[in-house]
Structure 1
């Protein structure tokens, strides 16, 4: 029996295959999973109903499993920061800044071959996508 907080077998397996520099996308319920991600990545669909599972729930589970080197977010064209960014900061390792990307940059980065795990959530807040780059342990 696992003693970790994360028990989802497909996510655990995918994380075990990734390494330093690999990326994990946690996507909100509006994100174009089929066209906006690396097709060879492991895709896990946790979007059971609107709001379940939330992006922050998924982030909390992942943060306990991997070292995080960086975290990128998609910023709105308006430049106004969504409230969920504060929740992301709260759940990330202390001192890790969010790297803002415009929509085109974020989609291009998420489609990159380095994105090895995509988690689709039921998050309903807009711009609630976060792209984590795995760091080194040690």
Structure 2
């Protein structure tokens, strides 16, 4: 299912083997990638140094390679030390990337613990760990079908 802007061989191989409803997590630098993933999911660590690469950069590459039918984010907290008023700035970057790819998809925020559950399923095939330092930058993609 590859369309190619993506050149990372391991990520390309995993995506090529994925199918409809497989999920791919693009995780920020704070995500517990070693413990919060599906039982068969592969982990690719791209975290070179703080902030490099970002989740949005990885999203651009992945969206060029596979059809995506849903995109979920981790809903922001409204109380406590990680609370935000409104959407995190990174979500606007995602919206621009999604639009630039010509997709008619909305971000679907889900509660933090529901997000972890969604990642921990048998459908989860890949976590790409970035070094993004933005809060609430985790993004879960569900593979669609080639039309």
- TM-score bracket for the superposition, by shorter chain length: over 0.9
Q: TM-score by structure 1 length? A: 0.94
Secondary structure class of the residue paired with 1:58: helix
Deviation at residue 61 of structure 1 after TM alignment: 0.2
CA drift of 1:40 comes to 1.7
CA distance in 1, matches of 2:109, 2:92: 13
| Alignment of 1:101 onto 2:110 | yes
Unaligned runs of 5+ residues in structure 2 are 79-84
Distance 1:95 1:18 in 2: 22
TM normalised by structure 2 equals 0.88
Q: Distance in 1 between matches of 2:9 and 2:26?
A: 17
Q: Give the conservation status (yes or no) of the 8 Å contact 2:39–2:121.
A: no
C-alpha distance in structure 2 between counterparts of 1:46 and 1:54, whole Å: 9
Are positions 1:127 and 2:136 aligned together?
A: yes
1:1-138 to structure 2, matched below 5 A, reads: 4-78=4-78, 80-92=86-98, 93-138=102-147
Deviation at 1:18, TM superposition (A): 0.4
How many residue pairs match? The answer is: 136
CA distance in 2, matches of 1:94, 1:13: 23
Structure 1: unaligned runs, 5 residues or longer: none
Shift of 1:113: 1.0
